Amino acid sequence: MKVTKAQVQENRARIVAMASVLFRERGYDGVGVAELMAAAGLTHGGFYKHFKSKADLMAEAAAEGLAQSAANTADIDVVAFVNQYLSRQHRDAPGDGCTMAALCGDAARQPESIKAVFAAGIERQLAILESSNETEDESAKREARARMIDTMAHAVGAIVLSRACPDDSPLADEILEVCRAQILGQLRSPPAPI
């Protein structure tokens, strides 16, 4: 039976969506092509009909995960973002959570094409977070961007550190609580000059 173009597109989308979740849960090296295809309900042999390499799939899955994260935060303010991001719920669900927190460490050791996807995703997330600062003053824009870079780096780092601890570790929760309080305190205070 011949597969229609629509079915090919649907299969590819299913592979990318499954890869996005599995990569966030286990890292790029923690999931093989055969396992990934089986999880998507397809045979291993069909992988190369959709992708030139695993790296191509990694880049596409990262782009999807980063776009999903951006969409999930597009309509909330920075305080809500921090509270949501630095929650135990987010910490405990890497497959459904932020691609940056789950895969930036892996991405740093990947080809430039994957790093470029992450850079674009980081820029998109920064733009979303910065959008609440509506000013024409260039100095204020630079300060707002610096603050959002600090906020995002601090939040991503907190999730990474918390996930590195055992699930039942008091330290895992303490990291989230301390970082959330610090970030929110910094957001409430006047910006420091850069």
pLDDT tens sequence across 75-117: 899 999 999 999 999 999 999 999 999 999 999 999 999 999 9
DSSP E strands, the chain: none
Q: What pLDDT is recorded for position 46?
A: 84
CATH number of 54-188: 1.10.357.10
Question: What is d(CA 107, CA 116) in angstroms, rounded to the nearest whole number?
Answer: 10
pLDDT at 3 over 80: no
Task: Give the DSSP per-residue string, 151-163.
Answer: HHHHHHHHHHHHH
Q: What pLDDT is recorded for position 193?
A: 58
**Where do the structural domains in the chain lie, given as residue ranges?**
54-188
Q: What pLDDT is recorded for position 2?
A: 74
The structure's pTM equals 0.89
| 36 within 8 A of 15, measured Cβ to Cβ | yes
| 87 within 8 A of 172, measured Cβ to Cβ | no
pLDDT at 191 over 80: no
Percent of the chain with pLDDT over 90: 74
| 67 within 8 A of 136, measured Cβ to Cβ | no
Question: What is d(CA 89, CA 46) in angstroms, rounded to the nearest whole number?
Answer: 35
Question: What is d(CA 194, CA 191) in angstroms, rounded to the nearest whole number?
Answer: 9
For the stretch 52-81, pLDDT in tens is: 999 999 999 999 999 999 999 888 999 999
